[in-house]
């Protein structure tokens, strides 16, 4: 069977840590064809959406660096020809990303529909920062505003806060603001662009020292291990892209409580793969665009999140599942 990944240019991916590559390797291991394209390759004409310059690739075992893939074929293919299309483009969720979701939605509703995961409408409806507002029983004190004065009042109430843009990833643009910081007003003016950009402010959680936990939900079911991303000394961000260190660990009772409440709701909306960010006992983000941490969890525990994911993907497209092989030797 054939699967298309829509993602960033292949040469920019890092095979030693990229979850999309882990998925592709698992699909290839099971005998499926793997194709890729970037969002710029999407093309609509006469009611059909095609991937211009789609690449059929092979992933040699054990190859890293620039040699992690080879292109076997390049041609235009209709999205409906694939057994599934996986939207794995990293943020930012800018206008081009938005347009891509509209094209993917057109492919889903076409007379010959494509199967797209995650569902493009759900991608648009679940901003990775704002989606937590549906689950207020699990989130820390939070304020969303474009007004620096309101955020300043929130900082005065909570003492220490974290401010983040609504469209970023990897900890980019995240600031920690504390009482007495002489840069407070400048930070608020910068992140809100003088009151013209909406941002999220949350109470700073000291439990970040034990890690910002990434909990992976597949079809609404949590993987048994999270990856706690521990900040480097002097840093308030645990993101691996910001220098954090990943430590795989079993889910806590609170982790499971959050996952079991949130998971079925999001799965019912077409979100096959979701990454919850949990600090201490609090849900801080819901990642739906390109959740990661597959590779680190498997490397440390032997549990193959990629296998769990592909089993569910195969089930969704009607492929009988082989016996579960999630625990690697």
The verdict on whether 88 is a catalytic residue reads no
The verdict on whether 214 is a catalytic residue reads yes
Structure-token pair, residue 278? 């949990």
Query: Which of 25, 88, 129, 143 is flagged as catalytic?
Result: 129
Q: Write the CB contacts of 122 (distance below 8 Å, at least 6 apart in sequence).
A: 266, 269, 270, 271, 288
Structure-token pair, residue 3? 């699967």
Query: What are the beta bridge partners of residue 58?
Result: 70
Query: Which of 277, 296, 298, 311 is flagged as catalytic?
Result: 277
Structure-token pair, residue 44? 């609509």
Cα(316)–Cα(49) distance, integer angstroms: 21
Helix (H, G, I), strand (E, B) or coil at 213: strand
Query: Which of 26, 115, 214, 296 is flagged as catalytic?
Result: 214
Cα(181)–Cα(268) distance, integer angstroms: 44
Picking from 86, 80, 82, 76, the residue whose alpha carbon sits closest to that of residue 52 is: 76
Query: Which of 77, 88, 155, 164 is flagged as catalytic?
Result: 164
Chain position carrying tokens 């983000």: 285
The verdict on whether 327 is a catalytic residue reads no
Quote the strand ranges of 8-61, DSSP E.
33-37, 42-45, 48-58
The verdict on whether 118 is a catalytic residue reads no
The verdict on whether 153 is a catalytic residue reads no
The verdict on whether 237 is a catalytic residue reads yes
Q: Write the CB contacts of 185 (distance below 8 Å, at least 6 apart in sequence).
A: 148, 152
The verdict on whether 96 is a catalytic residue reads no
Cα(134)–Cα(93) distance, integer angstroms: 20
Query: Which of 119, 287, 296, 298 is flagged as catalytic?
Result: 287
Compute the Cα dihedral for 74, 79, 83, 89 and give only its sign.
positive
Q: What H or E segment, with its residue span, contains residue 227? A: strand 225-230
Query: Which of 285, 298, 311, 314 is flagged as catalytic?
Result: 285
The verdict on whether 14 is a catalytic residue reads no
Residues involved in catalysis? 129, 164, 214, 229, 237, 277, 285, 287
């Amino acid at each position: 069977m054939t699967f298309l990944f829509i993602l960033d240019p292949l040469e920019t991916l890092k095979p030693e840590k990229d979850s999309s590559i882990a998925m592709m390797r698992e699909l290839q291991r099971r005998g499926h064809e793997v194709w890729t394209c970037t969002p710029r390759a999407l093309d609509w004409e006469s009611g059909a959406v095609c991937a211009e310059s789609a690449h059929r690739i092979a992933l040699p075992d054990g190859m890293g660096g620039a040699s992690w893939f080879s292109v076997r074929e390049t041609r235009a293919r209709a999205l409906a020809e694939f057994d599934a299309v996986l939207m794995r483009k990293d943020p930012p969720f800018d206008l081009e990303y938005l347009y891509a979701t509209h094209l993917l939605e057109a492919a889903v509703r076409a007379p010959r529909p494509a199967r797209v995961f995650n569902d493009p409408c759900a991608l648009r409806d679940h901003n990775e920062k704002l989606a937590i507002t549906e689950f207020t029983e699990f989130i820390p004190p939070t304020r969303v505003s474009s007004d620096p004065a309101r955020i300043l009042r929130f900082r005065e109430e909570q003492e220490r806060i974290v401010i983040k843009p609504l469209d970023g990833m990897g900890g980019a643009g995240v600031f920690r603001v504390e009482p007495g910081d002489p840069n407070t007003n400048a930070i608020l003016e910068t992140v809100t662009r003088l009151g013209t950009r909406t941002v999220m402010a949350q109470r700073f959680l000291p439990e970040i020292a034990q890690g910002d936990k990434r909990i992976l939900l597949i079809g609404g079911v949590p993987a048994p291990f999270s990856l706690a991303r521990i900040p480097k000394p002097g840093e308030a961000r645990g993101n691996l892209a910001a220098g954090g260190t990943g430590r795989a660990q079993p889910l806590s009772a609170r982790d499971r409580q959050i996952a079991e409440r949130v998971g079925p709701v999001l799965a019912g909306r077409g979100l096959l793969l979701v990454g919850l960010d949990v600090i201490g006992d609090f849900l801080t983000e819901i990642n739906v665009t390109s959740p990661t941490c597959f590779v680190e969890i498997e490397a440390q525990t032997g549990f193959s999140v990629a296998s769990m994911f592909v089993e569910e993907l195969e089930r969704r497209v009607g492929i009988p599942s082989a016996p579960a092989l999630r625990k690697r030797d």
